[in-house]
Chain A
Amino acid sequence: GQQVQQSPASLVLQEGENAELQCNFSTSLNSMQWFYQRPGGSLVSLFYNPSGTKHSGRLTSTTVIKERRSSLHISSSQTTDSGTYLCALVNNAGAKLTFGGGTRLTVRP
């Protein structure tokens, strides 16, 4: 089965609303990383989060290893937040990334 599962697969928000994206993993974890991808664009790293909570502007990432989950919270969404958010499990060697299926976010004005 899939090692990394993301939910929801897609999400539509009105500008200003908050979003909570989930990532669940079935194997032991070295670390979790979150990426953002604009349509047709490359991946941009948002967070490297082995455990605990990290903040960056309107974004917050929380990883709870014993519960095998990580979340990405977007507050006060903006239309420019639209795109795909991907979580990736980092293996023990700290190299290979195993990706979830992604959450496609659309923020409407």
Chain B
Amino acid sequence: DAGVTQTPRHEVAEKGQTIILKCEPVSGHNDLFWYRQTKIQGLELLSYFRSKSLMEDGGAFKDRFKAEMLNSSFSTLKIQPTEPKDSAVYLCASRGQGAADYTFGSGTRLLVI
């Protein structure tokens, strides 16, 4: 089975740039999540979609972060404009029917300079 695919694996951006991270969930999974992981804050929820509908939009991240899910097999996370404090690992996960059926991608490591 294909897992969750995230691209790119690494991204370096200059402050003020726009970057787009991509995620392909596990086929058939209805829930999709974007998380940000840093050493200080740990894992923080950015966005949560159910059947392509936005269910939760992490309040602190609304300003410059926008996640979209135009079809059931593809999601993007846009950060505009980027700031150095956005440097982190961005993880995408999808969930199937089972309560424990979460699959995480390998993440995109973003460095903003």
Spell out A's residues near B (CB within 8 Å). Answer: 31, 33, 35, 41-45, 48, 86, 88, 90, 94-102
Contact = CB atoms under 8 A, between A and B. Distances in A.
Contacts of B55: 95
Given A96-B56, A99-B42, A31 B99 contact: yes
Nearest to B105: A42
Q: Which of B43, B91, B107 has its CB near the most chain A CB atoms (within 10 A)?
A: B43
Given A48-B99, A101-B42, A43 B91 contact: yes
Interface in B26-56: 31, 33, 35, 42-43, 45, 48, 50, 55-56
B65 interface: no
Given A42-B106, A45-B100, A45-B102, A99 B43 contact: yes
Contacts of A101: 42
Contacts, number: 46
Interface residues of B, number: 22
A43 B105 CA distance: 8
A35 B48 CA distance: 19
Contact of A96 (B45, B99, B104, B107): B45
Contacts of A45: 100, 102
A97 B91 CA distance: 13
Nearest to A88: B43
A44 B106 CA distance: 10
Nearest to A33: B100
Contacts of B42: 99-102
Interface string B82-99: 000000000101010001
16 contacts: A33-B100, A42-B91, A42-B104, A42-B106, A45-B100, A45-B102, A90-B99, A94-B99, A95-B50, A95-B55, A96-B33, A96-B45, A96-B56, A99-B43, A101-B42, A102-B42
Nearest to A102: B42
